[in-house]
Amino acid sequence: MDVLIVDGYNIIGAWPELEALRDKDLATARDLLIEKMAEYQAYSGEQVIIVFDAHYVRGIEKKQSTHKIEVVFTKENETADERIEKLVQERKHIRNQVYVATSDYTEQRTIFAQGALRKSARELLVEMNNIEKEIQQEVKLNNERQYNVKIPITQEVLDVFEKWRRGKKD
């Protein structure tokens, strides 16, 4: 199984849409990243873990599962890089390939040494944009698909059924 560990604030600072949002409302930027990574997880099937530094959210360490992804806020004196390194060690297994999404060069070198691979913020953004385009194409094709019914029905009858379905009485 592939595991993607995302350096949350690093990605927010590197993606133009999230960076602009971060300057106005950091919580909304975090939520949007979580939504995008949930979409990524649903499409790719990879396990996704997002790690956020505690210095932006004071308090004790917190983990939550949202949309089949794990979101981790580090302990107050623990950096996201430290937690990511621990997660790489925990998840590294012969059956797992661990990727870390960050553009932090020092962190990339550290995770390489631990046997994980990296995805830069730009690479992840390109991959995410491609996934969104593919989903849009699949939805469009699904909407255009004509279903063959076993009982032939005229277009006039279909129009009446559609009016009923929409609650129109005429």
Distance CA 95, CA 145 (A): 39
Has residue 168 got a pLDDT over 60? yes
- The residue assigned the tokens 């919580």 is 27
Higher pLDDT, 123 or 147: 123
Burial class (CB in 10 A: 0-12, 13-18, 19+), 107: buried
Task: Determine the average pLDDT of the residues in 70-94.
Answer: 89
Residues contacting residue 142 through CB under 8 Å, at least 6 positions apart: none
pLDDT in tens, 15-66: 999 999 998 999 999 999 999 999 999 999 999 999 998 765 555 566 777 7
**Upper half-sphere CA count for residue 104 (Cβ side, 13 Å):** 21
- Give residue 72's pLDDT band: very low, low, confident or very high (50, 70, 90): very high
Residues contacting residue 99 through CB under 8 Å, at least 6 positions apart: 2, 3, 4, 5, 116, 117, 118, 119
High-pLDDT (> 70) share of the chain, %? 91
Task: Determine the average pLDDT of the residues in 144-158.
Answer: 77
> Which segments of the chain does DSSP mark as H helices, in order?
8-14, 16-24, 26-44, 80-91, 105-113, 121-144, 155-165
What per-residue confidence (pLDDT) applies to 148? 67
Highest mean pLDDT among 42-51, 136-145, 153-162: 42-51
What per-residue confidence (pLDDT) applies to 13? 94
Structural contact between residues 7 and 84, judged by C-beta atoms closer than 8 angstroms? yes
Quote the tokens at residue 55: 């210095």
Residues contacting residue 144 through CB under 8 Å, at least 6 positions apart: none
Structural contact between residues 119 and 101, judged by C-beta atoms closer than 8 angstroms? yes
- Give residue 170's pLDDT band: very low, low, confident or very high (50, 70, 90): low
Q: Go through the domains of the chain in sequence order and give each one's CATH number.
A: 2-141 (3.40.50)
What per-residue confidence (pLDDT) applies to 59? 57
Paired residues of 97 in beta bridges: 2
Has residue 169 got a pLDDT over 70? no
